[in-house]
A and B are shown apart, each in its own frame.
Chain A
Amino acid sequence: MPAATPAQILPGTLDLLILKAVSLGPLHGYGVLLRIEQISRGALLIEQGALYPALFRLVRQRLLKARWGTSENNRRAKFYELTSAGRKRLREEADGWNRLAAAIASALSTRPEEA
């Protein structure tokens, strides 16, 4: 665990993070968790159990597809990968998120004389 206090993720962003994590290669559930921690450099804290309802939701929305396979430590595990709809959704959400983040960042960096 990194030393800095990790931030609770914003509601609604978990799906986006999962899509992003999976977009980098098929992962099982625990792998998704590790990947998110890794790509956020430990800055984001995810309640581990909450991952699964989100994964199942994404599968039902046909953004992810799941298949059973064997994990690196020889456990039977369910692997998730992006569908084309998932890839599209990831692009849209990421764009939206970037725009929002940029807007908020620009708003927050406003100095008194600019107001």
Chain B
Amino acid sequence: MKPLAWLRSVASALLHRSRAEDELDEELRAHISSRADDLERSGVPRPEAERRARLEFGGYQKFKEECREALGLHFFETLAQDIRFGLRMLRKSPGFTAVAVLTLALGIGANTAIFSVVNAVLLRPLPLKDSSRILSVTTKTPMFPLFNLGNSWPAFQQIRSQAASLEDAAVYNTTDRTMTGQGGPAQLRVASVSDGFFDELGTKAGQGRLLRPGDHRPSENLVALISDAMWRTHFGADPAVIGRTLVLDGKAYTVVGVASHSFDFPEKTDAWIPIALTGAAESQPTYFMFQMLAKLRRGRTVQQLTPELDTIAKRMMHDYADLGDGFSFNATPLLETRVQNLRTAYLVLLGASALVLLLGCVNLASLLLARGSARQREMAMRAALGASRSRLMRQCFVESCLIALGGGAIGALLASSGVELFRAIAPAETPRLNEMAVVSSSLLLWSVAASLASGILSGLAPARRAASANPHDSLKENLGGKQAAGRTLSQLRLGHMLVVVEIALAFILLIGSALMTQTVSNLLHQDPGFRTDHLLTFDLPRPRLSFDVDDATIAREIDRLKKILERTRAVPGVEAVAASDHGVLSSRTMMHSELHTDAAAGREVPKRRASARYVSPGYFNLLGIRLLRGREFTEQDAKGAPEVALVNQAMARAYWGTPDVAGRRISLERDQKTKQPIWIDVVGVVDDARDVQVANEPMPEYYLPLLQEGTSSLSMAVRTMAEPGGIAQTISREIWAAFPDQPVTHVSTMTQTISESIGDQRMRSTLLMVFAGIGFALALIGAYGVVSYSVAQRIPEIGIRMALGATPDGVLRMVLRQSMVLVAAGVGIGGGAAFGLTRVIASQLYGVKPGDPATFVLSTILVLIVACLACYLPARRAMRVDPMVALRYE
């Protein structure tokens, strides 16, 4: 019967089981009654007729049983039998069962944990209404060709009103603001949102109300929606929170609502307020300061939206000459924008965990095979007693699935602690970390699916063998006959193949984890180009200065900066202090919208734009960045003095083609009236440093004096005499004494910062290392098992060899040589596969190439040595074979 038809009949038998049973009874009874009727008609009295009819029918129960079998009603009863029998067999050899279950538990656990993470981060829709229709729209401009920027307000207005494929659009921007009046000063993440923002995301207020269109009046409207977490931590879960006041950057906002518990967009937002537009931001098409969310109409696609956005971009280029050629919009599904950087990394982890699971399956298969040889006779006996081939095969699958389900149950437990572990070691900025449930239905489903799949996969080899069980041969063996040599050979060959596969899989994992570990170590030991020891950093956030700030405010800010520097420097244990506008290794860059140099006219402007950093005097000295040409900034480079700049070597080479640029000029803005560039002297050149990201080559950078321009928020760097950990408290107190409302945030030593900046790579390398460890252990157990099994099978042969004069050493060498051929084949295949696969992670590696020869050679040596040990133990047993004992088996 065709499998599908069989399945159908089994399914219908299962569905209509009781009806089928009833009908069966009815039909058989009808037969007996009809017979009795006939007999009665021929003159037999009724009771006698019924008796005879029953007798003639034969064994009622026996035939009924046969009928049920023929109907397919039997499948489940016999399955239950098989399961009971399987359980009994597993109980009988608890050692084997434990190893087998654990083998799979590790594989399933690793795989399920990673799947849960991947599912939570990459696959599951964002917890927003109709999230698949929500897009993020970004701007590309020739001014900053390498970046996806936010959108200007005019662009938002045009897109919202003109893109026909959109249902609605909203913008927001996130800033850090200082909250006062609720205990000590604290920094909050505040999202300023346009109207339509909450409608688009489809959320409801937990308490009070959301922001509504009326809140978005042209004038500033001081109302706020706070997050559920905020309500609990800062407002003590006050039920009467609506109407209370929230002071942000000195402005009092009225709390109008609390967001629902599950609403967290943009991630980790503490409060939402209406966007307050200042004059310039509302009309300037080059203020790319808003993140845009656009919601597609039902049934529309991004492909339909793109040409509409292009049309709008063209019209805007026409209307605003400042935008320049090549201005365009780009729409991407929101989920994608949030996880795109992680996709490869996570899929690699998922792949690695799949390899571990596969290894577990192969291992279980080889364990089952080895044990199967001990059960050959049992199978043969059952075949001789009339068990069908399919029944014997099913027995094998039932047993492997039982083991796998046991493994799956333990695996699910392992997986849920794995997810917990992941949440603990994942870097804090990992998206959707808080959406990740430790136990979820997807986790459980996946572990069940993984167990059944691996049960069937690892049952394949034993089932194939059971199907070929020949009762004749096997039973003869039982009577002292010789083993059917051909079949033993083919079994051995299968076992050997499994060893090769296992070693190959383990080798791939080993290479992957070795490359990732080197990446982490390379990053950790990368010389960033500045002194990282005894260095404490922290941020002093302040409200952003408005675009059209007056001179008096700047003077006040500079004065404040000087005071902070003085006070910090006075703290005992502080060797030196410097400030900049954004932190060292904060991964942030700042760029001016215009940057010109006095380089020769024909020179091409580099595609990678130089970024700016405002620094206080002594900054380079403190960090240990060498001055190569000219001079550093001094106290004299202050407000009112001629404007000056420093550039780093990378910028000098990129823009002028020479490091000798002291005395050259750059320009960052044009005169409002004459439109002529305002030039600034480059007074010195400093050495390159990786002060943005350790993993990136030094970027072209120019430095401007903080004392000249002033800035609101500061990032401080303090060189300490002793270990920097303890001094932060004293410094904070010192600053609070002068500026009680000043939050001190992101306190960290440079060593910590570097370590955290590679948190993602470190997590991945840790996981890969764990996987490789598990995989390697499994492969060794597998190799050990198969070699032991093959030695056991070959005892008579070895006996003959020894009787014919082979030395124990010779036998040892022979067994080892043969095992090592398998291991070498595994390494060869695994090496080839790893060579191809590691290209996938090329972009995640640092300081090491995917096909790094040293890694491959060392891993090969490692695998060969360890595998040699794993094979040595059983091989030694071969050496000890006593020819007399062995031959007596014959």
Chain A residues proximal to chain B, CB less than 8 Å = 28-30, 33, 47-54, 56-57, 60-62, 68, 71, 73, 75-78
The answer to whether A30 and B34 touch across the interface, beta carbons within 8 angstroms, is yes
The answer to whether A62 and B23 touch across the interface, beta carbons within 8 angstroms, is no
B267 adjacent to chain A (CB < 8 Å) = no
The answer to whether B59 and A60 touch across the interface, beta carbons within 8 angstroms, is no
A48 and B67 contact, Cβ closer than 8 Å, known pairs A60-B72, A73-B37: no
The answer to whether B63 and A77 touch across the interface, beta carbons within 8 angstroms, is no
Task: Name the CB-closest residue of A to B72.
Answer: A60
Contacts of A62 in B (CB 8 A): 5
Interface residue count on the B side (C-beta < 8 Å) = 26
Contacts of B34 in A (CB 8 A): 30, 71, 73, 75, 77
Contacts of B35 in A (CB 8 A): 30, 48
Q: Which residues of B in the span 690-708 have a Cβ within 8 Å of any Cβ on A?
A: none
Task: Name the CB-closest residue of A to B66.
Answer: A53
The answer to whether B23 and A78 touch across the interface, beta carbons within 8 angstroms, is yes
Encode contact with A along B204-223: 1 for CB under 8 Å, 0 otherwise: 00000000000000000000
Contacts of B69 in A (CB 8 A): 53
Task: Name the CB-closest residue of A to B37.
Answer: A73
Q: Which residues of B in the span 702-724 have a Cβ within 8 Å of any Cβ on A?
A: none
The answer to whether B67 and A56 touch across the interface, beta carbons within 8 angstroms, is yes
Contacts of A77 in B (CB 8 A): 27, 30, 34
A60 and B63 contact, Cβ closer than 8 Å, known pairs A49-B57, A52-B28: no
B829 adjacent to chain A (CB < 8 Å) = no
* A-B pairs with beta carbons under 8 Å apart, 18 shown: A48-B56, A48-B58, A49-B59, A49-B62, A49-B63, A50-B58, A50-B63, A52-B27, A52-B66, A52-B67, A53-B66, A56-B71, A57-B70, A60-B70, A71-B30, A71-B34, A75-B33, A78-B23
Contacts of B1 in A (CB 8 A): 60-61
Q: Which residues of B in the span 560-615 have a Cβ within 8 Å of any Cβ on A?
A: none
Distance in Å: Cβ of B24 to nearest Cβ of chain A: 8
Contacts of B72 in A (CB 8 A): 60
Task: Name the CB-closest residue of A to B28.
Answer: A52
Distance in Å: Cβ of A114 to nearest Cβ of chain B: 39
Contacts of B56 in A (CB 8 A): 48
Encode contact with A along B37-61: 1 for CB under 8 Å, 0 otherwise: 1000000000000000000111110
The answer to whether A47 and B27 touch across the interface, beta carbons within 8 angstroms, is no
Distance in Å: Cβ of A53 to nearest Cβ of chain B: 4
Contacts of A56 in B (CB 8 A): 67, 70-71
Distance in Å: Cβ of B20 to nearest Cβ of chain A: 10
In the docked arrangement, what's the CA distance between A108 and B312, Å? 99
Most B Cβ at <10 Å: residue of A48, A54, A77, A78 = A48
In the docked arrangement, what's the CA distance between A105 and B37, Å? 40
The answer to whether B30 and A76 touch across the interface, beta carbons within 8 angstroms, is yes
A49 and B70 contact, Cβ closer than 8 Å, known pairs A29-B31, A30-B31, A30-B35: no
Distance in Å: Cβ of B169 to nearest Cβ of chain A: 61
In the docked arrangement, what's the CA distance between A78 and B25, Å? 12
In the docked arrangement, what's the CA distance between A56 and B63, Å? 11
Chain B contact residues: helix, strand, loop or mixed: helix
In the docked arrangement, what's the CA distance between A60 and B74, Å? 14
In the docked arrangement, what's the CA distance between A50 and B66, Å? 9
Contacts of A51 in B (CB 8 A): 31
The answer to whether B70 and A76 touch across the interface, beta carbons within 8 angstroms, is no
B9 adjacent to chain A (CB < 8 Å) = yes
Contacts of B30 in A (CB 8 A): 28-30, 71, 75-78
In the docked arrangement, what's the CA distance between A61 and B58, Å? 25
Distance in Å: Cβ of A85 to nearest Cβ of chain B: 12
A60 and B26 contact, Cβ closer than 8 Å, known pairs A49-B57, A49-B59: no
Contacts of A52 in B (CB 8 A): 27-28, 31, 63, 66-67, 70
Contacts of A29 in B (CB 8 A): 27, 30-31
In the docked arrangement, what's the CA distance between A56 and B57, Å? 17
Q: Closest 6 A-B residue pairs measured CB to CB?
A: A49-B63, A56-B70, A53-B66, A49-B58, A30-B34, A57-B70
Distance in Å: Cβ of B60 to nearest Cβ of chain A: 7
Contacts of B5 in A (CB 8 A): 62
The answer to whether A48 and B57 touch across the interface, beta carbons within 8 angstroms, is yes
The answer to whether A53 and B31 touch across the interface, beta carbons within 8 angstroms, is no
Contacts of B28 in A (CB 8 A): 49, 52
Task: Name the CB-closest residue of A to B9.
Answer: A60
In the docked arrangement, what's the CA distance between A28 and B67, Å? 16
In the docked arrangement, what's the CA distance between A51 and B34, Å? 15
Distance in Å: Cβ of A83 to nearest Cβ of chain B: 13
Distance in Å: Cβ of B755 to nearest Cβ of chain A: 68
Distance in Å: Cβ of A42 to nearest Cβ of chain B: 14
The answer to whether A78 and B59 touch across the interface, beta carbons within 8 angstroms, is no
Contacts of B63 in A (CB 8 A): 49-50, 52-53
Distance in Å: Cβ of A67 to nearest Cβ of chain B: 12
Distance in Å: Cβ of B710 to nearest Cβ of chain A: 90
In the docked arrangement, what's the CA distance between A14 and B288, Å? 87
In the docked arrangement, what's the CA distance between A76 and B33, Å? 11
Task: Name the CB-closest residue of A to B29.
Answer: A75
Contacts of B71 in A (CB 8 A): 56, 60
Task: Name the CB-closest residue of B to A68.
Answer: B23
Distance in Å: Cβ of B3 to nearest Cβ of chain A: 14
Distance in Å: Cβ of A2 to nearest Cβ of chain B: 14
In the docked arrangement, what's the CA distance between A16 and B62, Å? 22
Task: Name the CB-closest residue of A to B65.
Answer: A53
A76 and B26 contact, Cβ closer than 8 Å, known pairs A30-B34, A60-B9: yes
In the docked arrangement, what's the CA distance between A28 and B26, Å? 12
Task: Name the CB-closest residue of B to A31.
Answer: B34
Encode contact with A along B63-99: 1 for CB under 8 Å, 0 otherwise: 1001101111000000000000000000000000000
A47 and B70 contact, Cβ closer than 8 Å, known pairs A29-B27, A60-B9: no
Task: Name the CB-closest residue of B to A75.
Answer: B30
Contacts of B33 in A (CB 8 A): 75
Distance in Å: Cβ of A74 to nearest Cβ of chain B: 11
Contacts of A48 in B (CB 8 A): 31, 35, 56-58
In the docked arrangement, what's the CA distance between A54 and B67, Å? 8
Distance in Å: Cβ of A41 to nearest Cβ of chain B: 18
In the docked arrangement, what's the CA distance between A11 and B689, Å? 92
Distance in Å: Cβ of A77 to nearest Cβ of chain B: 5
Q: A53-B67, A56-B71, A61-B1 are in contact. List 6 more A-B contacts (CB 8 A).
A: A30-B35, A48-B31, A49-B63, A60-B71, A75-B34, A76-B26
Most A Cβ at <10 Å: residue of B9, B31, B33, B35 = B31
Contacts of A60 in B (CB 8 A): 1, 9, 70-72
Q: Which residues of B in the span 293-349 have a Cβ within 8 Å of any Cβ on A?
A: none
Distance in Å: Cβ of B374 to nearest Cβ of chain A: 36
A78 and B27 contact, Cβ closer than 8 Å, known pairs A30-B34, A47-B58: yes
In the docked arrangement, what's the CA distance between A60 and B70, Å? 8
Distance in Å: Cβ of A86 to nearest Cβ of chain B: 15
Contacts of B31 in A (CB 8 A): 29-30, 33, 48, 51-52
Task: Name the CB-closest residue of B to A52.
Answer: B67
Distance in Å: Cβ of A27 to nearest Cβ of chain B: 12
Most B Cβ at <10 Å: residue of A47, A49, A68, A76 = A49
In the docked arrangement, what's the CA distance between A51 and B26, Å? 15
In the docked arrangement, what's the CA distance between A68 and B27, Å? 10
Contacts of B67 in A (CB 8 A): 52-53, 56
In the docked arrangement, what's the CA distance between A51 and B71, Å? 13
In the docked arrangement, what's the CA distance between A30 and B72, Å? 22
Distance in Å: Cβ of B69 to nearest Cβ of chain A: 7
Contacts of B37 in A (CB 8 A): 73
Distance in Å: Cβ of A12 to nearest Cβ of chain B: 15
Task: Name the CB-closest residue of B to A48.
Answer: B57
In the docked arrangement, what's the CA distance between A98 and B35, Å? 32
The answer to whether A49 and B27 touch across the interface, beta carbons within 8 angstroms, is no
In the docked arrangement, what's the CA distance between A29 and B28, Å? 8
Task: Name the CB-closest residue of B to A56.
Answer: B70
Distance in Å: Cβ of B49 to nearest Cβ of chain A: 14
The answer to whether A53 and B58 touch across the interface, beta carbons within 8 angstroms, is no
Contacts of A68 in B (CB 8 A): 23
Distance in Å: Cβ of A46 to nearest Cβ of chain B: 10
Task: Name the CB-closest residue of A to B60.
Answer: A49
